[in-house]
A and B are shown apart, each in its own frame.
Chain A
Amino acid sequence: MDIKADLLVVGGGMAGLVAGMVGAEAGLKVVVLRKGQGATAISSGAVDIMSYLPGANVPFANAIEGLNAVSEIYPLHPYSVLGYSDGGLPVDPERVVARVSEAVDWIKGKLNGSPSALVGDLGRTIQAVTLLGSSKPTSLVQGTMFVEGSDDWHDSIVLFVGFRGFPDCNSSITAKNFLASRLPGENRPRRVANCTLDVLPFGQPHNIYSFDIARYMDREEGFAELAKTLKDHVRSTGADFIAFPPVLGLRRARANKFELEDKMGAKVFELLAFPPSVPGLRLQNALESALSTDGGRLLIGHEAVSFEKKEGHIDSVAVKTPQRTFNIIPAAVVLASGKFIGGGIKGDETGFVETLVKLPVVDVESYQTAGARPQRYTNILALSPEGHSLFGVGVAFDSMFRPTGTDGQPVADNVFAAGSILSRYNYSAEKSGLGVALATGYAAGANAADYVKGALP
C-alpha cells in the first residue's frame, strides 16, 4: 500500500531526524526511513561542532573560532555553505556562526527534559573526560556528562568509579591517566582516587555489560544498591567530584545524577565512552521520540532500495521491509543515509558508490573519485591529526544542499542531502560529525520544506 508524503527522509540518524523534525514543524507530512541504527546511535553521545582544523594538534578555543576558521579556509565546507548569500561565495562567517547557533539552540530545546538533554554552547569548549582519563574538546554534552566547575579542578578531589566485572572501565587507569595528562599547576586536581563497586545487575561479578548496568540504574533497587555501596568510598576519600562510566541509566540517568549529588554531597558526572555507548543510544532514542512528538512518522526497519525520476524530479521511492516492498510518493526527499556506517556511501575495490540514487562520489576536495580504490584515500599513519581523507568523500552539493552530478547541476530539483553523506569535510579529523549532521539536517530540512511550499528561491 503506497504512502504519500510531503517529505521523505532517507536515514534516521542525527541528520535525518533533525530534517524530519524541521519538516514536521513546517507543517509537512513527514516520513523518515530508518534501515538500522547508524553512527548517531553508536556515538559517544556528545555533540561535537568543530574542534580541530585537520592537521592541527591544538583544538580551537571554542566552536565560534572553529567555524570562523572553516569559513575562511574551506569555503566549500558544509558549514561554510550555510554562510553563502544568495549569490553564493564569499562566505559570511557571522552568518555561519548564527545559523549553526540557531540549530544548536533549537536541538537543545527539542531534547530538553529528555534523558539526553544537552548542555553547552558555541562560545565554550567543554573538556569532557573520557574513560581513558584523557580530555576531549567538544561543544555540547549530555547534562549527565557535565558538571559545573569541571573546567577548574584545582583543589578538588576526584573519585573515579568502576564496577566489579565491568571490563570497559578500569577506574584505576582512568584516575592515573587523568592525573598524568595534567601538569602540576595546570588545572590539576589536588587528589584523585578510584573505587570498584559491587553492583551486580544479574548477581554475578563478571561479564557485565554497560547496558546491563544502565538498565539496572533505571530500576529503583539498582540505584539503591549503587547509592549504598558508593557512600563509604565518598566519605573515605572526601571526593568533591564523582566520575562514572556512562551507565547512570537509559531512562533515569538525569534523575539519578541529581539524586546521587544530593545523597553524596559531591558533584556527579559521566565519562565519555567508546562505541556503542549508553549516551549514544540515549541520544538516538531522544531524537526519535522528539520526531514523533512533532508528528513525524518514523518507519523502522524500512530501507529505500530504488527510485523513479521523471523530468528532473524524484517522484517515487521503493521501500523494502523484510518481506514487503511498497512505494512512497514524496514531494521532496532528504538523503541522510550516512556514510560507511549508515551505508549511504559504500566503498570497495571498484570504487565508491552512493547507494540509493547512484550519485557520483567526490573526495574532500571535490574531485570525482570515479573508480578510485578507497585505499587511495588513506594516510600511511593510522592515527594522525590529518586523519584519512577517506572520511571526507561523499556526494557533491550546491548552496541549497541539493546533491549535484558531474556537471555541477542538481540531479533532481526536489532532493536534498544532509549529514555524513556530504563530501568536503572530514568529520573524524575535525571532530565535527554530529555538529555537521545537525546543522545540515536543519538547513536541508528547511530547504525541503520551502521547496514543498513553493518558497525555495
Chain B
Amino acid sequence: MSDEQAYEAVKATLKAERIQPFKRDELEAVRSVEGCINCGLCIGHCPVVRAVGVERFSGPRSIAVELSRSPPEFWTTSDKVYLCTGCGTCREVCPRKVNIPAVVNMIRTRIFAQRPDLVPKALLDEHDVIVKHSLAFEPWADQEEKSESRKVRLETLGLPSVPDRVVPGADVLFYPGCQAEERAQEVKEAAKYILSYFGINYTLLDQMSCCGLPSKLIGDDETARLLAGRLQDKVKSLGVKKIVTTCAGCTSNLCDISARDGWGIPVYHLIEFLAEEIGFNKVSRPFKGRGRFTPAKVTIHDPCHIIRHTSRQIAEHARAILNLIPGVTIEESGMSDSCCGGGGMVGYHSRDVADAVVTENVAAISSTEADTVVTPCPLCTAQIESNLFRAGSQTVVEDLTVFFARRLPQKR
C-alpha cells in the first residue's frame, strides 16, 4: 500500500471511529493547551463558576484538559461545555494564554458532528433557524410590521430616520449584525445616522447575512464556514475597504474570519471607528459650544467580545467618547468588565445559568448612582435590561451607539 493509499484508508475510518481531525486554523489553539501549567487561576476567575459553583460548571481548566484525552471522549463534557458563556476571562488571566474559548468551540464542534443527541435541543432549533434564514433570529414575517416597529423605536428615542443605502464602491460596509437587523433596529438606525453625520461613504448589504458566530458557538462549524464564505463574497463584490459593525460579537468574529480567510479588510466596532478613523477631533466638534444639554449619569458595561476577544483599548475609547458629550458623567460600577452571561448561547438552553452570571453586574450597577447603563453591544443590552427590570431597577439600559446618536445635533 502506498503512503497515499494508506492515508486514504485511514481517513475513511475516521468517521466510524468518531475522530474529527483538527483543521489547520484550529491547531494554534490546540497547541496552546500544551502550555497549561494546571495552576487553576482560570477557575478562580470564571464568571460561570462564580455564579453556579464548580459542581454545576467544572470550569475552564477541565474543559481544556479534555483535549489531552483521546478525541472520541470529547462528548463526556457535554453537560458542562454548553454552560460556557465564551467570555474569555480564562484566557485573559491565564499565565500561558491557553486559548480555552477556542477549545470550547472545538469541543462543541466535535459533539455536534458526532453526538448531536447531546447538543441542547434549543441549540438544534436555533441551528435550523440559521440554516433556513442565514440569520440568528426568525425574520419578521411582515416587512411592514418590521418598519412600523422601527418607526416607533425611532420616535420614542427621538432619532432621525436615515434611508438604507446599498452603494457598490463605498468605502465602508456597515454591518449591523442579526440582532440590530431584526430586533434592536434602533441600533442599526443610530449607526446609520452617525456614519452619515460624519460624512462616511458607507453601504449596507443588499441582504443581511449572519457572520456565523452563533453557528460556531453551537458547534456547527460547517454552517459557520459557509456563512463566512457567503459574507466574504458579498464583501468582495461590494469592494469596500473597511467594515464597521455595532455588535460586539460580530466585531470579534469578523476580525477572526477576515484574518483566517485572508479578506485583507480591517473590521472595526463603530466606537473604535469613531475614535481611530474619524478621530476625536472631528467627533468632539458637534458638542462644542452647545449650550443646552441633558445631564446624564451613566455606567458602562464592557462586552466580552470587545474587551477580551478584540481589545480593551475599545473600552477606553468608549469612555473617551462619552467624556466628549457635555453633561455626561461616568460612574464606574467596578464590574464593568465582568461577563453579563448573555454569550455562548447559554441563555438559549440554561437561562438560569445565564441569569445567575449577571447577578453581580446587576448588584454593582444598582449600587452606582447612574441613571443609564450604556454598552456597545445589543446582546449585552438585552441581557442586562431584562435582568435589571426583573430586579426592580429603574435604571435605563441603552446601546452606546444609540446613546451617542441621540446626543448628536439634528438638522431641522
Contacts and interface: CB of A to CB of B under 8 A. Distances in A.
Contacts of A303: 97
A212 interface: yes
Contacts of B59: 209
A64 to B, nearest CB: 33
Contacts of A35: 97
B233 to A, nearest CB: 23
Contacts of A212: 49, 53-54
Nearest to A320: B311
Interface string A185-220: 000000000000000011010111111100100000
Interface string A318-334: 00011110100000000
B327 interface: no
A202 B53 contact: yes
Nearest to A207: B55
B313 interface: yes
> In which size bucket is the chain A interface?
35 or more
Interface stretch (A93-101, A174-182, A294-302): A294-302
Contact of B311 (A208, A324, A341): A324
A108 B312 CA distance: 31
Contacts of B92: 36, 300-301
B39 interface: yes
Contacts of B313: 1, 321, 324, 326
A315 to B, nearest CB: 21
Interface stretch (B9-17, B40-48, B127-135, B189-197): B40-48
Interface in B63-115: 88, 91-97
B275 interface: yes
Most chain B CB within 10 A, of A201, A215, A323, is at A323
B94 A215 contact: no
B93 A36 contact: yes
Nearest to A298: B312
Nearest to A204: B55
Contacts of B276: 1
A42 B41 contact: yes
B53 A209 contact: yes
Interface stretch (B283-291, B302-310, B386-394): B302-310
Given A42-B95, A211-B50, A301-B307, A322 B37 contact: no
B53 A323 contact: no
A51 B365 CA distance: 45
A276 B53 contact: no
A38 B95 contact: yes
A323 B310 contact: yes
A88 interface: no
Interface in A418-454: none
B50 A37 contact: no
A231 to B, nearest CB: 25
A276 B40 contact: yes
A66 interface: no
Contacts of B401: none
Contacts of B265: none
A347 interface: no
Contacts of B256: 323
Given A322-B310, A323-B255, A208 B54 contact: yes
B309 A343 contact: no
A16 interface: no
A321 B91 CA distance: 12
Nearest to B40: A276
Given A323-B310, A323-B311, A202 B95 contact: no
A322 B41 contact: no
Contacts of B95: 36-39, 42, 338, 341-343
B278 to A, nearest CB: 12
A8 B325 CA distance: 30
A237 B55 CA distance: 32
Nearest to A38: B95
A209 B308 contact: no
A338 B95 CA distance: 10
Given A35-B97, A36-B94, A37-B95, A211 B49 contact: yes
B336 interface: no
Nearest to A201: B53
B311 A209 contact: no
Nearest to B256: A323
B252 A323 contact: yes
A41 interface: yes
A304 to B, nearest CB: 13
A301 B308 contact: yes
A36 B97 contact: yes
A281 B44 contact: yes
Most chain B CB within 10 A, of A38, A209, A299, is at A209
Given A204-B55, A209-B49, A343-B95, A301 B44 contact: no
A55 interface: no
A278 to B, nearest CB: 8
A42 B91 CA distance: 15
Contacts of B94: 36-37
A206 B52 CA distance: 13
A206 B307 CA distance: 35
B72 to A, nearest CB: 25
A37 B43 CA distance: 13
B297 interface: no
A260 B257 CA distance: 54
Contacts of B52: 202
A113 interface: no
Contacts of A41: 41, 93
A278 B277 CA distance: 43
Contacts of B275: 1
Contacts of B49: 209, 211-212
Most chain A CB within 10 A, of B41, B59, B91, B275, is at B41
A321 B318 CA distance: 17
Contacts of A39: 95
B270 to A, nearest CB: 15
Contacts of B319: none
Nearest to A206: B55
Nearest to A324: B311
Most chain A CB within 10 A, of B37, B40, B43, B94, is at B40
B282 interface: no
Contacts of A38: 95
B310 A324 contact: yes
Interface of B: 37, 39-41, 43-44, 49-50, 52-56, 59, 88, 91-97, 252, 255-256, 259, 275-276, 307-313, 337
Given A276-B40, A323-B311, 19 more contacts: A36-B41, A36-B92, A36-B94, A36-B97, A37-B94, A39-B95, A41-B41, A41-B93, A42-B39, A204-B55, A208-B55, A300-B92, A300-B312, A301-B307, A323-B252, A323-B255, A323-B256, A341-B37, A343-B95
When A and B form their complex, which 8 residue pairs have the shortest distance between CB atoms, in order from nearest?
A202-B53, A321-B311, A324-B311, A207-B55, A323-B255, A323-B310, A209-B54, A301-B92
14 contacts: A1-B275, A1-B313, A36-B41, A36-B97, A38-B95, A42-B95, A202-B52, A204-B55, A206-B55, A276-B39, A301-B307, A302-B312, A321-B310, A323-B311
